[in-house]
Amino acid sequence: MIELDVHLMASPVDALIDVFAKAGATRISIHPEATQHLDRSLAHIQALGCQAGLVLNPSSPLDLIRWCIHRLDFVMLMTVNPGFSHQAFIPEMLPKIKLLRQTYPTLPITVDGGVSEKNMSTLADAGVTQFVVGSAIFNTKDYLKTITNMHQALKQ
């Protein structure tokens, strides 16, 4: 079975939660700005049998997690400003990742944006457990080699 991870960056998001859960999503993550009632939306994701995630933009405060931690299966940190692909990783996000790991040591951390084989081991050392990778794979000629190199970077 293939797990379907859906990152909804749309507003309003609540109606889309139902659509994607019905389509077979196993994980659904949302931005706090996309809903009027974050706790209710996250609870709804879980009630539909999906893992619930909170997505924070680079400038979003980590304090948002404090008020909904009881509803979270993971947190996704955007490590670029959302909106388009091929952006470079924002290095100032590393201290934020480390602080998130220190504050919530068991919470899975996903990063999305600017992830490549060059920075994966640094991100993992900071506390990242899951990676969203797009351009770093799709802009290469040999996807398998690139993915293999990424796996190797994480083993170092």
**Residue pLDDT, tens place only, 103-156:** 999 999 999 988 888 889 999 999 999 998 777 777 788 888 888 888 888 886
**Residue pLDDT, tens place only, 38-90:** 999 999 999 999 999 999 999 999 999 999 999 999 999 999 988 777 788 89
3-state DSSP call for residue 10? coil
Look at residue 134 in the predicted model and tell me its pLDDT: 75
- In whole angstroms, what is the distance from residue 153 CA to residue 156 CA? 6
18-52 residues labelled b (16+ CB within 10 A) or e (exposed): eebbeeebebbbbbbebbeebeebbebbeeeebbb
Instruction: Enumerate the domain spans of the chain.
Output: 5-155
Please work out, in degrees rounded to the nearest 5, the angle formed at the alpha carbon of residue 27 by the alpha carbons of 126 and 68: 65
Identify the architecture of domain 5-155 in CATH.
Answer: Alpha-Beta Barrel (3.20)
Phi, psi torsion values for 30, nearest 5 degrees:
-135, 155
